Structure 1
Amino acid sequence: MNRRRKYAAPVLVAALALLIVTGCGKDGKSGELTKVKFSEVIRSIFYAPHYVAMSQGFFKDEGLDVDMNTAQGSDKGAAALLAGTADISMGGPETTIYIHNQKGEKTLKVFHQLTAKDGSFLLSREKLDDFKWSDLEGKTVIGWRPGSAPQMVMNSTLIKEGVKDVNVITNIASPAMAGAFTSGQGDFIQLFEPIASTLVREGKAYYAASLGEAFGPFPETSYVATSDYIKKNPEVIQRFVNAVAQGAKWLNAASDEEIATALAPFFEGTSKELILQSVERYKSQDTWPTNPELTREQFDTLQNVLIENGVLKAEERIANMDDVVDMSFVRQIGNADE
């Protein structure tokens, strides 16, 4: 009996360690966690459902170990997919169209639509009691790189509002934009949360407008992978989609304290108050769709914006949406591996 007791503790410790290593999830999935090399476009609360899925263990529950890095641009995220240094990328769905029309060896596909509006906000250097888009005439705006979704949404909004003679600076790297503005460059700046609210809180800028509200529905951010990766790893894609959908569902039901605690590790130095303010701002403009499916209407809107901004020729418009979009996984959310 003593000998059996002597070895009981070590055996129990070993068994617990095995459970940790193999990643047995709450839903009963077991086996070693599958590593997914993931590239986010930038760090923003605009992508809160993804961070929730990480912090609340929804990816691990699905048997996935998500290794995340920040690409600082959809173009860089797409390049990582093509080079094989990323398995899944978060970015603008327009990248799939660009790559498809290059007729290269690899193609990309959207498999989950994360956001339904642009996530940037226009801030002014001087306080404007009643902002009008015409206030931008003759002014300088620090904006995003040419061909990026926020840059095109800004340009299309200016066209929609009939505003001309606006100098939009598009050659400042995204991590340096806020610093350039606070150093005195530009009259306005286009930023995502929580950086936008941080500048306002510090008294370095004033809120002027929401690009998401001004432009309207737009499929700005998607999850993308190469067609080959999706074909070879359908179970990984399905579990990834399930986890993100669970993150969005949790975000809509959780308390303020739970949300702030879940997101805080991804935004060090940002107060919980600003985190919650950013989340509420995105919620109020219906940023995160309850159904994360990229629809035909949204796809048409996307291509119209690309053509309007001169990055896609009318004759290059993709008629068969399935060439760059696969929504089959979204339609099976929660049903996989049951």
Structure 2
Amino acid sequence: MKSVTSLLLALALLLVAAGCGGNNSGNNEPSASPSPSASPSESSEPSASASPSASESPQQLTKVKFSEVIRSIFYAPHYVAMSQGFFEKQGLEVDMNTAQGSDKGAAALIAGTADISMVGPETAIYIHNQKGDKTLKIFYQLTLKDGSFLLSREKLDSFKWTDLTGKKIIGWRPGSAPQMVMNSTLIKEKAEGADVVTNIAAPAMAGAFASGQGDFIQLFEPVASTLIKEGKAYYVASLGEAFGKFPETSYVATSDYIAKNPDVIQRFANAVSEGTKWLSTASDEEIAKALKPFFDGTPDDIIIQSIKRYKDQDTWPAKPELTAEQFETLQSVLIENGVLKPEEKLGDMSAVVDMSFVNKIGAAG
């Protein structure tokens, strides 16, 4: 626990120093198209401050500095809200950058370089237990399943989780949500002796696997489907389906920002909710077109396949609410993985959760 909080504090101090340097515009420059050597967050990041029709809108937009944890189709409702103009409809201009980790996204909030971050909800618990000057509040639960998939080097006719015993799995950094979900799934399935590698940087994971490292790999979309399409891996299982409901990704802001800008938080929640609803009814062609600007170079069939995988496992809840039951699951996983001590468990979730904005989505006015 100390290592997690120390890292957040260190990052916060670094970001305070860096925050004086400008808008970090380098995060908005296009990068190479997704490939097996790229993480989900390495796909093209267009100028994310406005939707296509922003220049036509006469209204004054409120700018929101937004930090996403990584770039992945796992967060499709957010990109839809941007590309379809739902944020603009709510009077918001979203200036987006990619943090490359929940720890960094939380640090950006503490440092003031982000107004809203898309991170793992556990970060709010970590910050609360530090008892510092700032606290974080979860105001919207974007996903209710883990978003990673297990792939194998060799094609398997059948798969049991115990098949991972003695095998090397390229996984995510220690303390990250996908790493903890993987570990808890291995415990639940009694797959003892699996060697999970957690020291390969996210952008290098798929490339390491393609070059011969590991027997299995845990990846998000669209990188998972890209690796499969290129014949370098085979689909094995969904961690989301294997583990079950888990509140992996939330929208979070500081308590101070929420108190000062409740209308911005409400409008932000409204826009993302509209993005989720749009995804449930749009055609494959419409979805591919909407997401393409955020995954430049990714073929339409990969985008469509990625969306199908996430829809099939009920990733995006119709009501984006973090419930008491889900909060209990989250804290149990944190304790099981040794990043939260039992005595640090929060008895009152309202200390870090505010679902009042979710409950007002769609209300008149």
* TM-score for both structures, normalised by structure 1: 0.91
Q: Distance in 1 between matches of 2:237 and 2:74?
A: 16
1:220 corresponds to which of 230, 235, 248: 248
Q: Distance in 2 between matches of 1:300 and 1:142?
A: 28
1:200 corresponds to which of 228, 251, 263: 228
Q: Distance in 2 between matches of 1:153 and 1:187?
A: 19
Q: What are the superposed Cα offsets for residues 48-68 of structure 1, whole Å, 9 maximum, x if unpaired? A: 000000000000010100011
Structure 1 runs (4+) greater than 6 angstroms displaced:
19-22
Output aligned runs, 1:1-338, within 5 Å: 23-24=57-58, 30=59, 32-335=60-363, 338=365
Q: Distance in 2 between matches of 1:105 and 1:50?
A: 30
RMSD of aligned Cα (Å) = 1.3
Structure 1 letter corresponding to 2:277 = K
Q: Distance in 1 between matches of 2:319 and 2:227?
A: 33
Q: How far is 1:334 from its partner?
A: 2.1
Q: Distance in 1 between matches of 2:321 and 2:235?
A: 31
Q: Distance in 1 between matches of 2:343 and 2:306?
A: 40
Structure 1 letter corresponding to 2:333 = V
Q: Distance in 2 between matches of 1:261 and 1:133?
A: 37
Q: How far is 1:120 from its partner?
A: 0.2
- SS of 1:291's equivalent? coil
Unaligned regions of 5+ residues in structure 2, if any?
Answer: 1-52
* TM-score for both structures, normalised by structure 2: 0.84
Contact 1:113 1:293 in 2 (8 A): yes
Contact 1:23 1:63 in 2 (8 A): no
Contact 1:212 1:285 in 2 (8 A): yes
- SS of 2:356's equivalent? coil
- SS of 1:329's equivalent? helix
Unaligned regions of 5+ residues in structure 1, if any?
Answer: 1-18, 25-29
Between stretches 175-184 and 95-104, larger displacement belongs to 175-184
Q: How far is 1:172 from its partner?
A: 1.4
Q: Distance in 1 between matches of 2:227 and 2:277?
A: 30
Q: How far is 1:21 from its partner?
A: 6.3
Larger radius of gyration: 1
Paired residues in the alignment total 313
Structure 2 letter corresponding to 1:169 = V
Contact 2:139 2:358 in 1 (8 A): yes
